[in-house]
């Protein structure tokens, strides 16, 4: 299994080199804006994970695409009410045979199944369609720095291989779906700078592979769940600028890999757990 992944990563690197040499390659601008956003963020290491997880790029194909992926993407587009940069202009039913060349869509080269949607900083408005659950092989979803409203679909929890969820800097409302705990391969959740409410779901503690959890300035209240101490792969935990209350859980001392902890500007008691 690991050897196969390493081979796919090698193919991805070669594909990106080839893509860089192609004039007007339609994914280049999104790729670079996404990378730049990460490199200017304290989570630059997360950018490495995203590039690794994109596996193989699809550079042209005549193979039949999966109808489920087409339907899910077209439903997603229907939820977008404003696209001033015409970023989704290639997303049409008539062009479904070229799904893997749609802007912001990344596929496995062999199967042509969609594995990533990367659409940051495109001024998109609208909502995230629950139909996204149809992208059963999706492992990266980046819709950061747009103007998306509404709730985070609980249906995301049906994406069993989802690893990267980046909805940073939108206008999303409602609570963090508990169903995200079903995404057991999740490595990075970035929801900072939204208009969410409620508390941190205790179920997040079930994500043993989670390395980055960024929930800064989204309107959270309640206590920090003790269960976060079970996320022993965490490297960065960012919960600042919320209204969290109570004690800092002593369970956080279990996070032996933790490199960065942000709890500033909350209503927490000033205890520092022994061992942290």
CATH code at 65? 3.80.10.10
Asked if the structure places residue 46 within a domain, the reply is yes
Backbone angles phi, psi at 63, to 5 degrees: -75, 155
Report how many domains make up the chain.
Answer: 1
Looking at residue 4, what is its pLDDT?
Answer: 43
Question: 245, 199 in Cβ contact below 8 A?
Answer: no
Indicate whether 251 belongs to any domain.
no
pLDDT tens-digit series, residues 25-70: 344 333 333 333 333 344 443 454 444 445 444 433 434 568 999 9
Look at residue 130 and tell me if it is in a domain: yes
* Residue 17 pLDDT: 35
250 assigned to some structural domain: no
In a domain, 201, yes or no: no
Q: How far, in Å, CA of 117 to CA of 158, rounded? A: 16
Q: How many CB atoms lie within 10 A of CB 66?
A: 19
Position 66 scores a pLDDT of 85
pLDDT band at 109 (very low <50, low <70, confident <90, very high): confident
Residue 245 main-chain phi, psi, to 5 deg: -125, 175
Within a domain: 145: yes
User: Which pLDDT tens digit goes with each residue over 83-108?
Assistant: 999 999 999 999 999 999 999 999 99
pLDDT tens digits along 216-250: 999 999 999 999 999 999 999 999 999 999 999 99
> What's the pLDDT band for 270 if we cut at 50, 70, 90?
confident
Task: Give me the chain's average pLDDT, please.
Answer: 83
128-182 confidence digits (pLDDT tens): 999 999 999 999 999 999 999 999 999 999 999 999 999 999 999 999 999 999 9
Q: Is 28 part of a structural domain of the chain? A: yes
- Cα–chain center distance at 80: 18
pLDDT number for residue 273: 62
State residue 16 phi and psi, 5-degree precision: -70, -35
- CA dist., res. 56 & res. 243, Å (int): 42
The boundaries of the domain holding residue 44 are 2-196
Domain for residue 103, yes or no? yes
Check pLDDT > 60 for residue 208.
yes
159 with 180: CB under 8 angstroms? no
């Amino acid at each position: 299994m690991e050897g196969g992944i390493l081979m796919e990563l090698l193919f991805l690197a070669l594909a990106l080199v080839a893509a860089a040499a192609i004039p007007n390659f339609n994914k280049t601008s999104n790729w670079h804006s996404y990378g730049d956003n990460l490199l200017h963020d304290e989570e630059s290491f997360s950018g490495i994970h995203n590039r690794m997880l994109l596996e193989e790029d699809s550079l042209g194909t005549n193979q039949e695409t999966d109808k489920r992926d087409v339907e899910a993407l077209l439903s997603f587009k229907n939820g977008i009410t404003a696209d001033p940069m015409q970023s989704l202009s290639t997303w049409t039913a008539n062009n479904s045979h070229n799904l893997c060349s749609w802007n912001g869509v990344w596929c496995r080269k062999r199967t042509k199944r969609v594995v990533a949607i990367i659409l940051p900083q495109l001024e998109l408005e609208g909502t995230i369609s629950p139909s996204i659950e149809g992208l059963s092989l999706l492992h990266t979803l980046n819709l950061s720095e747009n103007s998306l409203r509404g709730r985070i679909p609980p249906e995301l929890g049906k994406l069993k291989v989802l690893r990267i969820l980046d909805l940073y800097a939108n206008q999303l409302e409602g609570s963090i779906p508990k169903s995200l705990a079903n995404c057991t391969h999740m490595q990075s959740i970035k929801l900072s700078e939204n208009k969410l409410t409620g508390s941190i779901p205790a179920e997040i503690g079930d994500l043993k592979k989670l390395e980055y959890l960024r929930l800064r300035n989204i309107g959270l209240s309640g206590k920090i769940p003790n269960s976060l101490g079970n996320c022993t792969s965490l490297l960065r935990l960012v919960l600042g600028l919320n209204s969290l209350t109570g004690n800092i859980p002593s369970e956080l001392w279990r996070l032996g890999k933790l490199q960065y902890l942000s709890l500033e500007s909350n209503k927490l008691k000033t205890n520092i757990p022994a061992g942290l």
